[in-house]
């Protein structure tokens, strides 16, 4: 949009410059508070999805409860518990003997960190769990989690390792090459 067009429409356009320099770092107390808020938020998500699932499936539709419903309830509970415990241990702060905060723990809100993947698994499980009230076939969507894990394993570890170029022999200058050849001839061992 040009400046004249924005004047006619009565709007203003502002151009935002990209931030310069590196991102400001968070302090220990900010990380600690952010981690507490993040853990509290995900506990609410887990509790809400479990409550909806239990109320609808086990209380309202109790006549259609089968082994699969119980199995998925146990599965989702174990996923929630393991992801939450992992995030909780990552966010555990360290205090000195006098009670001073030494470390606020790993920042759970850091982009492209391991905690981000744990949060994605919690969200995927919550969405699939609530959608499975409609149909049990929605549990197939949970296969996205191991699929994503395999994709990340392949792109970050396996493919670069498998398809890496072989280490090349360094090119030697002619003098070094001749010297090496003479040395190899001298060290030749003849067995009889």
Q: What is the pLDDT of residues 159-182, one digit of tens each?
A: 888 887 776 666 667 888 888 888
* DSSP string for residues in 140-186: GGGGHHHHHHHHHHIIIIIHHHHTPPPPPPPPPPHHHHHHHHHHHHH
pLDDT per residue as tens digits for the range 35-57: 999 999 999 999 999 999 999 98
* pLDDT at residue 81, rounded to an integer: 96
The structure tokens 């960190």 sit at: 113
User: What is the domain count for the chain?
Assistant: 1
Instruction: Return the number of other C-beta atoms located less than 10 Å from residue 77's C-beta.
Output: 14
Residue 3 lies in a domain: no
Residue 16 lies in a domain: no
Can you give the residue range of the structural domain that contains 50? 27-93+104-142
List of long-range contacts for 144-149, beta carbons under 8 Å, 24+ apart: 145/120, 145/121, 148/117, 148/120
Residue 114 lies in a domain: yes
* pLDDT at residue 119, rounded to an integer: 94
pLDDT per residue as tens digits for the range 8-30: 555 555 555 556 655 656 788 88
């Amino acid at each position: 949009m040009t400046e004249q067009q924005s004047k006619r429409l009565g709007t203003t356009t502002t151009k935002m410059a990209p931030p310069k320099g590196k991102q400001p770092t968070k302090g220990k107390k900010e990380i600690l508070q952010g981690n507490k808020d993040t853990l509290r938020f995900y506990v609410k998500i887990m509790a809400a999805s479990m409550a909806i699932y239990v109320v609808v499936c086990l209380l309202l539709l109790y006549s259609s409860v089968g082994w699969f419903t119980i199995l998925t309830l146990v599965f989702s509970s174990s996923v929630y518990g393991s992801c939450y415990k992992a995030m909780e241990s990552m966010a555990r702060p360290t205090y000195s003997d006098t009670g001073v905060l030494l470390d606020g723990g790993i920042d759970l809100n850091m982009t492209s960190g391991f905690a981000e993947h744990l949060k994605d698994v919690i969200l995927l499980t919550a969405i699939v769990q609530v959608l499975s009230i409609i149909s049990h076939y929605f549990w197939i969507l949970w296969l996205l989690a191991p699929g994503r894990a395999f994709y990340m394993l392949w792109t970050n570890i396996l493919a670069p390792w498998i398809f890496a170029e072989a280490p090349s022999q360094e090119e030697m200058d002619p003098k070094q090459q001749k010297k090496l050849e003479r040395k190899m001839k001298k060290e030749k061992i003849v067995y009889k």
